[in-house]
Each structure stands twice: as structure tokens, then as C-alpha cells.
Amino acid sequence: MINCQLSIDNYAQTNLTIANGNWVNGSNNIVLQNTSFTNNGTFHAGTGTVIVTGDATTVQSELGGTSQSTFYNLKINKSTNDALLRQNATVNNLLLLTDGKLEIGNYNLIIGNSATISGQNQDRYIVTNGTGSLVRQVGTSWTVFPIGNSTFNPARLKNDGTVDNFSIQVQDNFLENGTTGNAITTNVIPRTWLIEEEMVGSSDVSMRLIWRPVHVGSGFNTNASQITHFTNGNWQDQNTGVSIADHSYSSDHRYREATNITSFSPFGVKSGASLPVELLYFYAEKEGKNVRLDWQTATEINNSHFDIEWSADGVSFEKIGEIIGGGTTTEEQFYNFFHSSPTIGKNYYRLKQIDFNKKFEYTNIIQVTFEKAKNSAISIYPNPASHYLKIESQDLIGEMVQVFNVNGQLVKEFQHQSLITNLPINNLPSGTYFLTIKNEVKKIVIVK
């Protein structure tokens, strides 16, 4: 039981260790001057404050141990070096940042439901330099996550759905595939906010992502920027408001706001076209004795051409054609290619997208199977269509039919109950869709 302020002041590396059992604080301060806190037992924080402080140039203060610690108040006041989190920890009342940063590494820092964070700015924040996240409950009021990595890039959330816990960390890059692929440095803020909700599907979030103009990538236009979300294999721009100065931290911080967000991780901020090729879909279907390949891009940067590659085993590929790319464009581009000599059995296809500087990327691999002397079990007409589709098949009566958009989202599902099924499509917007029934896949186009 600690009945008065406990101060440990030492310029050598010192550990305050709870070896086992219970260690109880009342309403007192525990001052750790250039000292680490190691909890291998049970720490009862009471209503006191643990103060992590110090100015030793060769000493780092760590909060760790084999047990997870719960602090009532935690104060970070490090004038030299940062404080380091070495175990998951919870703060139930106040996290006060008065000097220096708290690096959480691969551990989570959990802020209690009634707790607050105070004192944060571009020099005092939670550093998410590993796999750990800052965790907070978010309701209908704006809640700040004062995080960053090499720079201060906080986020603010409010949730008009079900109150939920959110985990956020920031990475110092903007990658083509969200968390993998080449780094994008043009027309983006080179940061990615990884945001997750605890109860999936329960939230309706408004989001503000914050940055300083000095940290943006080349070509980035603040006034034409938007929050973008990597989902369904692509970066997709969100419903975004204006770029606004945020004077909570300094005179030059700015943020973008997006609303009605219901799925999460990862998010970024971009302006214009930032990805070399933003592929919307890559699709193959049989047309008589041929295979027709179709693909569509949303944006292209420096795109010289596509090599079309084919394989009989899905391992060894050979080039069977080439299609000129769109160079640099923000308009949607449509491409197709016919393979006139597919083999009986399985045929595998992929695209090799090649830039003018000879850099290249491969798409996913898709497959088409040809069987001997067998006609398609289903007919779909008219195609393109405006108001309805007719699904005709004698062999597939009773099977379920699903219609997907180019983002892979299911938009219609029904049962084929007779020789011909009439499918109203008045409520579907113009675009390309994919209809699947048993092992058959058909591309349909809706034009209004």
C-alpha cells in the first residue's frame, strides 16, 4: 500500500518492479524519473497518477511487464527520449501529455469509456510505430485519436450508429493495395490510417483525417483532395467535405472529412489520380470457341500497355497478346481481348500492366474451363438491357441466381423457377454486372 507520493530519481537505468502479488496505490503520485515500470503482478491504481518523466539522454522509460496494467491517471513528461509501452495498458481517467511522446510499438493503449486525453500537439502524441493501436469508445460526439508515426497525424471520429470501440494506428506510407504493394508518393499524403471497429457493421461514422501541408506528396492539391478507403480490392473515394484548417494543434494543420462510413481499414487522403492503374474488374467468359477477356480501369498513370498472358496449368504463363494502355488519364477505360485457341480443360489468364518506365505489375489470375461439345446451360437476353433480363435454362431450374456489381457486391439474388425467368432491373444503375448460376458466369451490361 502506497500512502504518500513515491518518487524514484536516478540517472542510471532503474526498474520499479511488481514481482508478484498486489501493489495498491491510493490517491498518490508515483513519479518515475528515468525509471521503467514493470508489472509482473497486480497493480491497483486507486485514484492516483503515474508520472513518467526524465531527461537522461541514454535512458528510456518503459511501461511493461508480464501483466497488463490499468492506470487511473497517466502523465507523460519526457523531455529527452520517449516513453515506451511494452505491454497492453488501460487508462481509466486521464492521459496527460505534457512533454515528449508515448511509443506504443506492438501493444494497444486502451482509453476507458469515461477517460479523456489532454495536452496533445505535434510534439506530444501517441506514436503507433508497430502493430499496436490506440483504442477508444466513439459515440455521437467527436472523439480525438492523437496519434502519428514520424509526424503527428491525428484522427477524429463520431458515430451516429451503435456506440462502439475503435482501434486506430498510422503508417508512414500510402500503398497501392492498402497494406501491401508499391508506395505511392504522388498526389497523396504518404500516410495510411488503419481503422477498425469492434462490432462489425454497427457503425455510421463521420471521420476527419489531419495533416500538415509540409508533409504531403508531390502534386497533392489540398483543395481537390478527398478521403479514400481501400475496400474490395481498390482505393475508393468517400463522401468528402471541404478541406478545413484545424487550429486545435497549430496554425497550419488541415483535415478532410468523410461521412456515412460503415466499413473500415485502411484510409488515406489523395487528390486526383494517385494509383498507376486502378483496376475495377478483370473478367473472362466463353464466346463460342473463343475466350473473351474484359477489364476496366478507373484511373491510369504512366500506363504504357497490358500484356495478356495465358497458361494451361496456372503456373507457367506465356504472352498471347498486347493492348495499348491509356497513358495518364482520370477517365474510365474499357479493354477487351479475344483468345481464339483456348485448350480443352482449364485456361488461366492474367494481365501484366507495364509503365513507360518498364515497371510492371500482375493482376489476379482468372480461369475459364472448356468442356467437349457442350453448349452453355443458360441464355441471358437482351444484353445490354435497360428494364428487364430474361434468364432461360432448362437444365438449371431450381438453382439460385446471383448478380454482382464490379466491386463484388451482391445486388440481386433469386431462384430460377421455370424455363424462362423475367428479372426486373429498373432499380439497378447503368454499369457492368456479373450473373452467376451454379458453375456458369455471365457478364451483363445495363444501360439506362
Report the 10 Å Cβ neighbour count for 215.
16
pTM attached to this predicted model: 0.64
Give residue 245's pLDDT.
58
Provide CATH code, domain 379-446: 2.60.40.10
State the CATH class of domain 277-370: mainly beta
Write out the residue limits of the CATH 2.60.40.10 domain(s) in the chain: 277-370, 379-446
Q: What is the CA radius of gyration of the chain?
A: 28
Q: What is the pLDDT along the chain (448 residues), one digit of tens a residue?
A: 777 778 777 655 578 889 888 888 889 999 999 899 999 999 999 999 999 998 877 677 999 999 999 999 999 999 988 999 999 999 999 999 999 999 999 999 999 999 999 999 999 999 999 999 999 999 999 999 999 999 999 999 999 999 999 999 999 999 988 898 888 888 899 999 999 999 998 899 999 999 988 888 888 888 778 899 988 777 888 865 555 656 666 667 889 899 889 999 899 998 865 557 878 888 888 888 889 999 998 888 889 999 999 998 888 899 999 999 998 887 889 999 999 888 888 899 999 999 887 878 888 889 888 875 455 568 888 888 888 888 888 888 888 889 988 877 889 998 888 888 888 888 888 888 888 888 788 889 888 7
Q: Distance (Å, rounded) from C-alpha 408 to C-alpha 58?
A: 53
